[in-house]
Amino acid sequence: MVQPEQLTPIEQAEQFLQASSIDAWLVYDYQGMNPALADLVRTSGFLTRPAFLLIHPGDVPVLLVGAVDAGQIADDGVSVQPYVSLVDVHAKLGALLAPLATVAMEYSPLRQLPRASRVDAGTVELVRSLGVDVVSSAELLQYATQRWTDEGLASHRRAVDGISAIVLDAFTEIGNRLSVGVTEHDIHEYIMGRFADAGLETDHGPVVAANSHASDPHFAPTPEASVRFAAGDWVLIDLWAKEHGPDAIYADITWTAYIGATVPDERQRVFDVVTGGRDAAAEFLRERLASGQNAQGWEADDVARRYIADAGYGEYFVHRLGHSLGNQVHAGGVNLDSIETHDTRTFLPGLGFTIEPGVYLPEFGVRSEIDLYVGVAGLEITTPVQHDVVLIG
User: What's the full length of the chain, in residues?
Assistant: 393
Last residue of a domain, one of 111, 145, 179: 145
Rounded CA-CA distance 78/242 in Å is 31
pLDDT value, residue 181: 97
Q: Looking at the 3D structure of the chain, how many domains does it have? A: 2
Given a cut of 60, is residue 1 above it in pLDDT?
A: no
Residues 163, 202: one domain? Answer: yes
Residues 172, 35: one domain? Answer: no
Which residues span the domain enclosing 366?
150-392
Last residue of a domain, one of 145, 172, 189: 145
Residues 164, 134: one domain? Answer: no
Residues 175, 87: one domain? Answer: no
The tens digit of pLDDT for each residue in 169-192 reads 999 999 999 999 999 999 999 999
Residues 162, 278: one domain? Answer: yes
- For the domain that residue 372 is a member of, what is the CATH number? 3.90.230.10
Given a cut of 80, is residue 2 above it in pLDDT?
A: no
Last residue of a domain, one of 145, 178, 202: 145
pLDDT value, residue 46: 85
Residue 70 CB neighbours (<10 A): 16
pLDDT value, residue 25: 98
Residues 136, 192: one domain? Answer: no
DSSP track, 39-95: HHS-BSS---S-EEEEE-TTS--EEEEEGGGGGGB--TTSEEEEE-SHHHHHHHHHH
The tens digit of pLDDT for each residue in 100-138 reads 999 999 999 998 999 899 999 999 999 999 999 999 999
Rounded CA-CA distance 234/391 in Å is 10
Rounded CA-CA distance 112/296 in Å is 14
**How much is the CA Rg of the chain, to the nearest whole Å?**
23
pLDDT value, residue 45: 80
Residues 89, 208: one domain? Answer: no
Lowest mean pLDDT among 5-9, 92-96, 365-369: 5-9
Residues 6 or more apart from 15 whose CB is under 8 A from it?
2, 7
pLDDT value, residue 59: 97
Residues 130, 181: one domain? Answer: no
Determine the 3-state secondary structure of 248 from DSSP.
Answer: coil
Q: What is each CA distance from 208 to 201, 205, 239, 349, in whole angstroms?
A: 17, 9, 8, 33
Residues 195, 313: one domain? Answer: yes
The tens digit of pLDDT for each residue in 39-78 reads 999 988 889 999 999 999 999 999 999 999 999 998 889 9
Is the model's pTM score more than 0.85?
A: yes
Residues 368, 249: one domain? Answer: yes
Residues 306, 347: one domain? Answer: yes
When pLDDT is cut at 50, 70 and 90, the band that residue 363 belongs to is very high
Residues 104, 208: one domain? Answer: no
The tens digit of pLDDT for each residue in 135-174 reads 999 999 999 999 999 999 999 999 999 999 999 999 999 9
